[in-house]
A and B are shown apart, each in its own frame.
Chain A
Amino acid sequence: EAGVTQSPTHLIKTRGQQATLRCSPISGHTSVYWYQQALGLGLQFLLWYDEGEERNRGNFPPRFSGRQFPNYSSELNVNALELEDSALYLCASGKYRNTGELFFGEGSRLTVL
């Protein structure tokens, strides 16, 4: 069974640009979660999508947004990139309401110059 897949693996952008990260969940999982892992800040919850809708978001500005598609894949968009957005962005999938058992992908490393 394929795990959570994320693309791209690495992404380099400059300040002010937009970044789009993509995620495919494990087959049968309807929920997709996005986390930011920045150096020194640990893992921070960004967004939760389930059945195509945003169910919850963490303490991040509105320029962090995303969506979930009918096939349950998801994308995370970060607009007006700032230097501090440089981080590993992790996508996880899980079954709805089973919020503890998350299966993470290997992440997309975003570098903002």
Chain B
Amino acid sequence: QQQVKQSPQSLIVQKGGISIINCAYENTAFDYFPWYQQFPGKGPALLIAIRPDVSEKKEGRFTISFNKSAKQFSLHIMDSQPGDSATYFCAASFSNTGKLIFGQGTTLQVKP
């Protein structure tokens, strides 16, 4: 099973709040889990990524939490800002296949 399931589909958060986006996968052969951010009219941009041997990775206001046993990972955006309003995609990949499996995306709106 190569799907990556992402939720919620859309999210509205007040400025300064925490945005949480969740993803789940089935295939334990996945070995790289990136998150991408996409603004309207732009291509996706790599935000942060994690490998399954690490349970958490933090970069600034963005944190990935990874639960290998549950086959789930999530993105936390602390102190959310209106400029964070975008679509976020989780993804998973197999080494040496050149293929990223993307979740369906979450549209985040941060209200001022």
Contacts and interface: CB of A to CB of B under 8 A. Distances in A.
B43 A107 contact: yes
B99 A45 contact: yes
A80 interface: no
Contacts of A42: 89, 102-105
Contacts, number: 67
A58 B98 CA distance: 10
Interface in A66-113: 90, 92, 97, 99-107
A99 B93 CA distance: 7
A30 to B, nearest CB: 11
B32 A100 contact: yes
Interface magnitude class on chain B = 20 to 34
Given A42-B103, A43-B89, A99 B97 contact: yes
B100 A102 contact: yes
A7 to B, nearest CB: 14
Nearest to B94: A99
Contact of A104 (B44, B49, B97): B44
A55 B94 CA distance: 13
A4 B43 contact: yes
28 contacts: A31-B98, A42-B89, A42-B105, A43-B44, A43-B89, A43-B105, A45-B99, A45-B100, A48-B98, A56-B98, A56-B99, A58-B99, A90-B43, A90-B44, A97-B96, A99-B96, A99-B97, A99-B98, A100-B32, A100-B49, A100-B91, A102-B46, A102-B100, A103-B45, A104-B36, A105-B43, A106-B41, A106-B42
